[in-house]
Amino acid sequence: MEKVGLEKHTSKQFDADLEDVRELVLAMGGLVEQQIADAVRALISGESALGEDVVNGDTEVNRMEVEIDEHCTRILARRAPQAGDLRLVMAVAKTITDLERIGDEAEKIGRMATLLATQERPKSAFRQIELLGRHVREMLRDALDAFARLDSDAAIRIAQADAEVDREYEGVVRQCITYMMEDPRTIRHMLDVLWAVKALERIGDHSKNIGEYVVYFVEGKDVRHIGVEAMEQEVSRSSRSR
């Protein structure tokens, strides 16, 4: 199948509509990425004000989701898009749902940061959180780059990174359990930490989903729920046939 593009419709306004919606998704993605960065920083450094900013910032993420959704509905109603255009609109509609969920996870972490700000923090556990936070942010950035560049190969890297994040998450969980066993007074605190790393792990999952929507948009193939290896095969098969 041919590589998709957004331009060159006979109707220039249609080009503009699709370009608008694509730019909005990237803007929303950038905002969400910043939310994650701020949330993790607030948690690590105990800046409760920054945590609150993240919580408040989620309103803007939600607003953008609604705005882009309206754009998609309008394009479907007025343009009746086909083929690659249709896949773009479908991919966008799904992507913003995942972005919005990522925003919710960042909000949770921000809330947690405010809650934990005054408490003492075990260094090593927080180092792990920082690392995990960096990894999932990279995943999200990769997914957004893939979306911007129509790069379906990136989806494979993101899926592989997600498997790595899942392993790191398990590591943090084990560490928390150790702390809790050593000193039951830390249980309350550690449970909060666990909520935060769970939120980060979920962000990884959502980023992986976005990568899969990029494959659907670019290749016209649904690679959800088939595992990394099968995904690799699907994507390499279609890049060969190009």
Partner 1 sequence: MRTRNLTGNTAAVMPPPPTTERPRVKRNTKMDVCGLSVWYGDKQALHSVSMDITENEVTALIGPSGCGKSTFLRCLNRMNDLVQGVRIEGEVEFDHENIYAPEVDVVELRSHIGMVFQKPNPFPKSIYDNIAYAPRILGQVRKRTEMDDLVERSLKRAGLWDEVRDRLDAPGLSLSGGQQQRLCIARAIAVNPSVLLMDEPCSALDPVATATVEQLIDELKENYTIVIVTHNLQQAARVAGYTAFFHLGEIIEFADTDSLFTHPREKKTEDYITGRYG
CB 14 → partner 1: shortest distance, Å?
6
Distance CA 86, CA 104 (A): 28
CB 81 → partner 1: shortest distance, Å?
7
CA 234, 236, 237, 239 dihedral sign is: positive
Q: In the 8-state DSSP scheme, what is residue 120?
A: -
Residue 22 makes contact with partner 1 by CB under 8 A: no
Distance CA 25, CA 2 (A): 23
Residue 240 makes contact with partner 1 by CB under 8 A: no
**CA nearest 3: which of 197, 235, 218?**
218
Residues 133-162 that bind partner 1 (CB under 8 A): none
Q: Residues 220, 228, 232, 233: which binds partner 1 (CB under 8 A)? A: 220
CB 183 → partner 1: shortest distance, Å?
57
Residues 5 and 31 sit within 8 Å (Cβ to Cβ)? no
Stretch that binds partner 1, among 52-60, 81-89, 138-146, 166-174 (CB under 8 A): 81-89
Residue 118 makes contact with partner 1 by CB under 8 A: no
User: 3-class DSSP state for residue 196?
Assistant: helix
* Structure token pair of residue 121: 């923090």
For partner 1, the closer of residues 86 and 173 by Cβ is 86
Residue 2 makes contact with partner 1 by CB under 8 A: yes
Residue 63 one-letter amino acid: R
Residue 8 makes contact with partner 1 by CB under 8 A: yes
Other CB atoms within 10 A of residue 114 CB: 20
For partner 1, the closer of residues 188 and 237 by Cβ is 237
The site that binds partner 1 (CB under 8 A) totals a number of residues, namely 18
Q: Residues 38, 58, 65, 85: which binds partner 1 (CB under 8 A)? A: 85
Distance CA 120, CA 53 (A): 22
What binding mask, one character per residue, do residues 29-68 give for partner 1 by CB under 8 A, x or -? ----------------------------------------
Residue 140 one-letter amino acid: L
Stretch that binds partner 1, among 32-40, 77-85, 134-142, 178-186 (CB under 8 A): 77-85
Q: Which residues of 119-140 are buried (b: 16+ CB within 10 A; e: fewer)?
A: eeeeeebbebbebbbebbbbbb
Distance CA 194, CA 209 (A): 23
Residue 77 makes contact with partner 1 by CB under 8 A: no
Provide the binding-site residues for partner 1, judged by CB under 8 A: 1-2, 4, 8-11, 14, 80-87, 220-221
